[in-house]
Amino acid sequence: GIQVEQSPPDLILQEGANSTLRCNFSDSVNNLQWFHQNPWGQLINLFYIPSGTKQNGRLSATTVATERYSLLYISSSQTTDSGVYFCAVTNYQLIWGAGTKLIIKP
């Protein structure tokens, strides 16, 4: 089956820094999503991005389907960005990465 790898597994940054999270997948997929799980446990849908680039405020995502990876950019980090970021890919079945745990220090 498809393997999904996220990197880095952990990331600690100061408030105001920029970060790039990566999601690699081992085979062609029909779609890809990024989620943020905040410290209170809520899972929030960030991007639905099978290919191309999308932006939402300080967050943007790029998926290069032909090279089987996606990147999530967070600019000017805030403490509220802390949490775990998951990518999940679908090829008729949703497959999750293990997540990147991000801690933003004030």
Residues 6+ apart with CB under 8 A from 55: 61
Instruction: Using the rule CB under 8 A, give the single segment among 8-16, 18-26, 64-72, 90-98 that binds other proteins.
Output: 90-98
Among 82, 90, 101, 103, binds other proteins (CB under 8 A): 90
- DSSP codes joined into one string, 33-83: EEEEE-TT--EEEEEE-SSEEEEETTEEEEEEGGGTEEEEEE-S--GGG-E
Which residue, chain included where needed, has tokens 């990331």?
Answer: 11
Least distance from C-beta 77 to other proteins, angstroms?
23
Among 18, 20, 26, 42, binds other proteins (CB under 8 A): 42
Residue 102 structure tokens: 């991000």
Asked if residue 59 binds other proteins (CB under 8 A), the reply is: no
Residues lying near other proteins in the complex (CB under 8 A) are found at 30-31, 33, 35, 41-45, 48, 86, 88, 90, 92, 94, 96, 98-99
